[in-house]
Amino acid sequence: MIVFEKRKLSHRDETLARLRGLAGELSLLDMRKIVERDATLKMILLLPEPVLDEALAVGRALQACAKHRRSSPEDQEEGYHKP
């Protein structure tokens, strides 16, 4: 079991070294964000088409609500509008 752990750690270190080489100037945090975004996109693409259509419709509705809130004078007075 100890041999397995060492092999696993060395493989992880090699993988991180290769990622750092590819990333160039990116920080580890930026690389992590990219990997998370990629994983999210892959999960979205695996959704069945009807579910994806519904999710896109919800996203469009949320964007419309946000746009309306930003244009509403009452919300601008309450500090919701960001310049």
Higher-confidence position of 4 and 23: 23
**pLDDT over threshold 90, residue 57:** yes
Higher-confidence position of 37 and 23: 37
CB 37 within 8 A of CB 43: no
pLDDT band at 70; cut points 50, 70, 90 = confident
pLDDT for position 14: 82
pLDDT band at 6; cut points 50, 70, 90 = low
What distance in Å separates the CA atoms of residue 39 and residue 54, rounded to the nearest whole number? 20
CB 75 within 8 A of CB 69: yes
pLDDT for position 74: 64
Determine the distance from the C-alpha atom of residue 63 to the mean position of all C-alpha atoms in its chain, rounded to a whole number: 18
Q: What is the sign of the dihedral through the CA atoms of 60, 66, 71 and 74?
A: positive
